[in-house]
Amino acid sequence: MEINKDLIAASSTPIVLAILAEADSYGYAILQRVREVSGGRMEWTDGMLYPVLHRLERLGLVEARWEVAESGRRRKYYWITSRGRAQLAEDRRQWETVDATLRGIWQSLAPFVWTNHATTTALPQGA
């Protein structure tokens, strides 16, 4: 399934902040965590992640430090700031409102059939 770019853009900040609320992390590990949590349905790239991290850093929601890994490679680790935690809490409230609204609308449509020009399908329960 390919997820609409607008949805990816809208969800990127709370996803990254939530991952960093779990633990400090670096780019590749963040990409892996997104893939893991989404069950492989979301495949972010470096080109998508790093602009988000840099924006969050400019906004003071995350900070970064360079560390040398056991392999000898330098990695830039990111961590969430107290401002970032406050933003994450606000983002969560907003996303829960959007989610509840969509679920309410979809639930009210459950008895009906959606029709497009090629097929007729019933809306799945709980979608």
Per residue in 20-50, pLDDT (tens digit) is 999 999 999 999 999 999 999 999 999 999 9
Delineate the domains of the chain, giving CATH numbers in brackets: 5-122 (1.10.10.10)
**C-alpha 119: how far from its chain's center?**
31
Q: 37: how many CB neighbours lie within 10 A of its CB?
A: 14
Asked whether residue 124 carries a pLDDT value surpassing 70, the answer given is no
| Percentage above 90 pLDDT, the chain | 77
The mean pLDDT of 58-65, rounded to a whole number, is 98
3-state secondary structure of 39: coil
User: Can you give the pLDDT at residue 109?
Assistant: 85
* Gap between the terminal Cα atoms of the chain: 15
**Mean pLDDT of the chain, nearest integer:** 90
Q: How much is the pTM?
A: 0.83
Q: How is residue 67 annotated by DSSP? A: E
Distance (Å) of CA 101 to CA 20, 39, 93: 27, 24, 12
